[in-house]
Amino acid sequence: MMWFPPATLSLLLLLLLLGQAPPSRPQSLGSTKLRLVGPGSRPEEGRLEVLYQGQWGTVCDDSFALQEATVVCRQLGFEAALTWAHSAKYGPGEGPIWLDNVRCVGTESSLDQCGSNGWGVSDCSHSEDVGVVCHPQRQRGYLSERVSNALGPQGRQLEEVRLKPILASAKRQSPVTEGAVEVRYEGHWRQVCDQGWTRNNSRVVCGMLGFPSEAPVDNHYYRKVWDLKMKDAKSRLKSLTQKNSFWIHRVNCLGKEPHIANCQVQVAPARGKRQPACPGGMHTVVSCVAGPRFRPPKAKPGRKESRAELGFGSAREALFGAQLGQGLGPIHLSEVRCKGYERTLSECPSLEGSQNGCQHENDAAVRCHVPNTGFQNQVRLAGGRSPEEGVVEVQVEVNGVRRWGAVCSDHWGLTEAMVACRQLGLGFASHAIKDTWYWQGTPGAGEVVMSGVRCSGTELALQQCQRHGPVHCSHGTGRFSAGVSCTDSAPDLVMNAQLVQETAYLEDRPLSQLYCAHEENCLSQSADHMDWPYGHRRLLRFSSQIYNLGRADFRPKTGRHSWIWHQCHRHYHSIEVFTHYDLLTLNGSKVAEGHKASFCLEDTNCPTGLQRRYACANFGEQGVTVGCWDTYRHDIDCQWVDITDVGPGDYIFQVVVNPKYEVAESDFSNNMMQCRCKYDGHRVWLHNCHTGDSYRANAELSLEQEQRLRNNLI
């Protein structure tokens, strides 16, 4: 007779009572985690590790092939595997080697369904640790930390929540912010009884729907509307409310839950089906406050919104290991422990980032719930080779009738394409296409219904961008309709502001050493009129270091066959204008300028464990790998601003990377760096250098201008 310890016996009895079979041995990996350990900014590749009995261990590369890698990638939430790596390419691991001779068919849903020698049975060393490279595309609906919404052992679920508008004014709003709460339960929509409903419940519902907070509801008015409907003998609502299948009986939330299914939910009364589910009550009505980006243009912020918050709903996904890219600069917080009630992160207990040695490869990220604006249903792609590309077709109102049509490609660029891909839910734009003759659009939707589109790049939909009133397209319809190609990942270049500040200095350089720089237009126009080679130019020199913090490599727009050879410096330019360098007055007028071509776009340095992929030597491939950086030293030609004609004073020094948006990025708002600059005619100081997304330069300028007004210094 087999003996079980008391804890195991209790588990077996519980499983038998619930009608479930006890787990078979060996332990399933379905409840055991896998991870890829390697470059922090590339979660799709690294050394394969398995968590077993509370300890992480590695997998031996014996018998490991593409079909095993495919199973691993799918279990981790990726669509497919690209390849695998043997012989500890991502470095030798530590601890046990849990699995050896893993054998999969390739159709398994998890690694535990594959054969192996068994847990810990291996004759390998860590020099044989296997690595895996997955396709970065995530499976549809994948969440790195899935929200649990199980209600009990029966496996019942509350799947979704929505607000059904009741008032005419609420029905006209987009997104809907006020209405009766409806919950999807076992495939059917039910309404929630208002008896026992609390503000914490409303907070959870609003968070799920993408709203940062809840608002009071005029329940007295809604009760009058309800009572009128209940008195109407012909009311369909009256007959529906008499069925318990119409109701969710009780909901009780703490206010910090990410999903209403994490609250205490009672679907039906405790006494059974014959007991009314909502006696004397009515449906629950909730009112939510939309964040700034989702309000109508004329809406005013509430009084309580004194602190800057993100303005979205509750968290949909918590990501770790720099899955959305690494940051720059100091790490301010680590080991943050929130209960969920706090309004800001500063209210949560935490450590300073430097206290526990946290690195940027561990940067945290979050995806938030956002409101359903309906914009995604007002745009589509047609004619492309894949669902991620094609002619852009939009739905707009024409003479009071909503109809589909094309977008004029006049002024169509990457910022407009970025908005289109965001509206489609397809990530980022990789190309903005102005000539789409090779793509067949939807029949009947070829007429241009939107023209003159100009977006800042932060809009949620093309309908929010500036555009013509009456449609005017200079080249008519057909082959020149706007098109896009979208991608789920993109590069993101950011300048190292601190390095610029620390390396700036002045040099009076003889003209005899500036012939090549003059040929490449790196000097001010006054240099054309000097008595060459006599005299000198005063140059503000500095080093620049450009990081790729995105999720895809930064590559030149064109291939090597299109690069331009510059005989004087004897190198190719893969991007003719890679950066702009400008010196501005405090009111923004340009007094000096420079530019830098990307004559050598390469991985100058990469973090430990990440291989350099691009090098310019021997006419090599150019680019910047994710997580790596390209450095331009202060002592190379054109790494300056010519300030020969600039007088002493206070200025703004500005650097813009990828200024013409020649290459798509996930975020253009951080491409600009600015410093305050003081020049006394002999020396120069740069201070308060910052990137565009971390500092509002106009805020400081406005304060200074106000001070000058007070002192009569205009």
pLDDT per residue as tens digits for the range 536-556: 999 999 999 999 988 899 998
Whether residue 273 contacts residue 244, with contact meaning beta carbons closer than 8 Å, is answered with yes
C-alpha R_g of the chain: 31
Q: Which two tokens stand for residue 410?
A: 């006049």
Torsions phi, psi for 405 (to 5 deg): -165, 180
Highest mean pLDDT among 154-168, 257-271, 444-458, 695-709: 444-458
The DSSP secondary-structure symbol of 86 reads -
Percent over 90 (pLDDT), the chain: 38
Q: Which two tokens stand for residue 21?
A: 């079979």
Q: What would the DSSP string read from start to end of 97-145? A: EEE-S-B--S--SSGGGSB-S-TT-----GGGB-EEEE-SPBPTT--SS
CATH topology agreement for domains 33-134 and 379-487: yes
User: pLDDT digits over 59-117, tens only?
Assistant: 999 989 888 999 999 888 888 888 888 888 888 888 899 999 999 988 888 888 899 99
Average pLDDT over residues 16-21: 35
**In the sheet that 629-632 helps form, which strands lie side by side, from edge to edge?**
493-495, 544-548, 629-632
CATH of domain 379-487: 3.10.250.10
Whether 434 has a pLDDT exceeding 50, the answer reads yes
Q: Which two tokens stand for residue 154?
A: 């029966």
Q: What is the largest CA-CA distance in the chain?
A: 105
Q: Which two tokens stand for residue 472?
A: 């005017």
| Phi/psi-derived region of residue 530, left when phi > 0, alpha when psi is between -120 and 50, beta in every other case | beta
| Single pTM value for the model | 0.68
Whether residue 250 contacts residue 190, with contact meaning beta carbons closer than 8 Å, is answered with no
E-state strands within 157-225: 158-164, 178-185, 188-192, 213-215
Domain spans of the chain, in order of start: 33-134, 158-270+279-289, 314-369, 379-487, 493-712
Q: Which two tokens stand for residue 455?
A: 């977006």
The DSSP secondary-structure symbol of 78 reads B
Torsions phi, psi for 481 (to 5 deg): -70, 150
Whether residue 420 contacts residue 388, with contact meaning beta carbons closer than 8 Å, is answered with no
Element counts in the chain: helices (H) and strands (E): 10, 37
Whether 30 has a pLDDT exceeding 60, the answer reads no
Determine the straight-line distance between the first and last CA of the chain, rounded to whole angstroms: 97
**33-134 to CATH, choices 3.10.250.10, 3.40.50.720, 3.10.290.20, 3.90.76.10:** 3.10.250.10
Q: What does each C-alpha distance from 327 to 38, 57, 322, 368, 392 come to in angstroms?
A: 17, 29, 8, 19, 33
Q: Which two tokens stand for residue 438?
A: 């090779």
Q: Who wins on pLDDT, 484 or 1?
A: 484
Whether 141 has a pLDDT exceeding 70, the answer reads no
The answer as to CATH 3.50.50.60 being correct for domain 314-369 is no
Place 140 in a pLDDT band, splitting at 50, 70 and 90.
Answer: low
* Integer Cα distance of 162 and 182 in angstroms: 5
Place 297 in a pLDDT band, splitting at 50, 70 and 90.
Answer: low
Whether 20 has a pLDDT exceeding 90, the answer reads no
Specify the pLDDT at position 68.
92
Average pLDDT over residues 620-633: 89
* Integer Cα distance of 652 and 630 in angstroms: 24
* Integer Cα distance of 687 and 675 in angstroms: 6
Whether 342 has a pLDDT exceeding 60, the answer reads yes
Q: Which of 695, 671, 681 is nearest to 577 (CA)?
A: 671
Average pLDDT over residues 219-240: 87
The answer as to CATH 3.40.50.1980 being correct for domain 158-270+279-289 is no
Q: Which two tokens stand for residue 225?
A: 């509307």
3-state SS track over 622-648: CCECCCCEEEECCCCCCCEEECCCCCC
Q: Kindly report the average pLDDT of the chain as a whole number.
A: 82
User: pLDDT digits over 384-408, tens only?
Assistant: 898 999 999 999 988 888 899 999 9
Q: What would the DSSP string read from start to end of 222-279? A: HHHHHHHHHH-TT-HHHHHHTSGGGEE-EEE--S--SSGGGSEEESS-TT-TTS-SST
Q: Given the structure tokens 């706007």, which residue do they identify? A: 482
